[in-house]
Amino acid sequence: MTPIRLRHPQGVSTIQVNFDEDFKVQDLQQEIYAATDILPSRQTLKTGYPPIALEIVPELPISSLGLKASDQIIVSENAPAPAAPNPAPAPTAALPTPRTAPTTSGPDAVEVDGSFLIHRIVPDDNACLFASVALIFEQDMKKAQKMRQLVADGIKRDPETYNEAILGMPPATYISKILTPATWGGAIELGILASHFRTEIASIDVETGRIDQFAPSGVSDPENRCLVIYSGIHYDAATLAPMADAPSDWHQTVFPTRSADILDAAKRLADILRAKRAFTNTATFDLKCEQCGQGLKGEKGAQAHAKDTGHTRFGEY
């Protein structure tokens, strides 16, 4: 017997599977039923990254599923089939709309090959870029300060690239500021973090739909990429899950760069957020310095004020 790990709505379980020809798919379904209380008729089984639905033919041997001993099966439960309704007039024709996650609340999401790319919202606390990257690479947005330290270390290691002209201030001053929890991050930080994790970071701008791709330095063709969503003043992450309401530890956060479907899905997710006006035009929005109370206009005004005063905490009016 071979152990197979299950992820299901109640948690994580391990079942024992026999890979010989006498062990049928229906036997696997019964083992899953014993571990999850999900009836075989209502089981949806997926495996792989991104998760792909298994084609279930109960009478076939388990080898028909192409499973290996190291695989993990993601189990979800289908809703029971509704009773047949009374005949009703045919609906009028309507224009098709992009399919989103079948939920009425929670974060926005779009379907990708049977899974869902989900807008993962992080706190609006001036550390959003670092929290988003920590969520992606550490599965814990509370490790934002660790991401700040990685940026500081990256600047120290490469003073030729990250000089005063690039940083806009002496490197020591920049490092001191970026380690301060109230300081925002941007393109410089994304580039350094991409290099550290040797993973492309694709930043999707909600207002324009533009995708800025930060490639790791010294890597001509990175194998993996991750996604952050930029609203003009805030960063969030985008991750893939087998179900729209899947637990956070079910989410895939890094994707092969060869998977163009992920970038297409990210653009569709940005379309949804843009339609909700979930962005801020940084050239015209009104800001207030939370340290001295001065009113400011746009990102440039905030940057000039920070340079003149050293203040780094700003809020939107």
Among residues 113, 158, 261, 311, the one annotated as catalytic is: 311
Cα gap 164→215, rounded to integer Å: 22
289 counts as catalytic: no
Q: String of b and e for 235-257 (b: at least 16 CB within 10 Å)?
A: bbbbbbbbbbbbeeebbbbbbeb
Contact 15, 6 (CB under 8 A): yes
Peptide bond into 80 cis (omega under 30): no
128 counts as catalytic: yes
User: How distant, in Å, are the alpha carbons of 85, 99, 300 from that of 90?
Assistant: 13, 22, 56
Helix (H, G, I), strand (E, B) or coil at 153: helix
Helix or strand (DSSP H, E) at 150: helix 144-157
Nearest to 196 by CA among 205, 188, 186, 185: 188
Q: In the chain, helix, strand, coil percent, each to 5? A: 30, 25, 45
226 counts as catalytic: no
CA 98, 101, 102 angle in degrees (round to 5)?
A: 110
Cα gap 204→228, rounded to integer Å: 6
Among residues 8, 108, 119, 128, the one annotated as catalytic is: 128
Contact 26, 93 (CB under 8 A): no
Contact 202, 266 (CB under 8 A): yes
Helix (H, G, I), strand (E, B) or coil at 258: coil
Helix or strand (DSSP H, E) at 119: strand 115-120
Among residues 8, 119, 196, 234, the one annotated as catalytic is: 234
Among residues 125, 140, 264, 286, the one annotated as catalytic is: 125
264 counts as catalytic: no
Contact 234, 131 (CB under 8 A): no
Phi, psi angle pair for 200, to nearest 5°: -65, 135
Q: Which residues are catalytic?
A: 125, 128, 234, 311
